[in-house]
Structure 1
Amino acid sequence: MTAKVAYADVEKGTELPPRSFPLTRGALVRYAGASGDFNPIHWNEDFARKVGLEDVIAHGMLTMASAARVVTDWAGDPGALIDYGVRFTRPVVVPNDEQGALIEVSAKVAAKLDDEARTVRVDLTATSKGQKVLGRAQAVVRLA
Structure 2
Amino acid sequence: MSADFSELSVGHQIGERSIEVSRADLVRYAGASGDFNPIHWNERFAREVELPGVIAHGMFTMGSAVQLVSDWAGDPGAIIDYQTRFTKPVPVPDDEAGAVIEVIGVVGALDQDARTARIDLTVSTGGQKVLVKAQVLVQMK
| Bucket of the pairwise TM-score, normalised by the shorter protein | over 0.9
In 1: Cα distance, 2:2 partner to 2:65 partner: 19
User: Which of 87, 93, 116 is 1:95 aligned to?
Assistant: 93
Q: 1:85 aligns with which of 69, 83, 86?
A: 83
User: Residue 124 of structure 2: SS of its match in structure 1?
Assistant: strand
For 2:118, which of 116, 121, 127 is the aligned residue? 121
Other-structure match for 2:70: 72
Q: Name the residue aligned to 1:14.
A: 12
Q: Deviations over 1:47-93 (max 9, x none)?
A: 00000001000000000011101111111111111000010000000
Is the contact between residue 108 and residue 123 of structure 1 (CA under 8 Å) also seen in structure 2?
A: yes
Counterpart of 1:137 (choices 126, 134, 139) is: 134
User: Post-superposition shift, 1:133?
Assistant: 0.3
Give the AA of the match of 2:138: V
Does the 8 Å CA contact 1:105/1:126 hold for their aligned counterparts? yes
Task: Report 1:1-80 matches (<5 A).
Answer: 3-80=1-78
Q: RMSD across aligned C-alpha pairs, in angstroms?
A: 0.9
- Runs of 4+ displaced beyond 3 Å: none
Corresponding residue pairs, total? 141
C-alpha distance in 2, partners of 1:27/1:9? Answer: 37
Gaps of 5+ in 2: none
Quick one: which amino acid aligns to residue 8 of structure 1? Answer: S
Offset at 1:99? Answer: 0.9
Name the aligned partner's letter for residue 68 of structure 2. V
Identity of aligned residues (%): 57
Q: Distance in 2 between matches of 1:4 and 1:20?
A: 20
Select the residue among 103, 106, 112 that pairs with 2:104: 106
CA distance in 2, matches of 1:6, 1:79: 17
Determine the C-alpha separation between the residues in 1 that align with 2:101 and 2:110. 27
Deviation at 1:117, TM superposition (A): 2.7
Q: Where does structure 1 lack aligned partners over 5 or more consecutive residues?
A: none
Matches of 1:39 and 1:84, distance apart in 2: 24
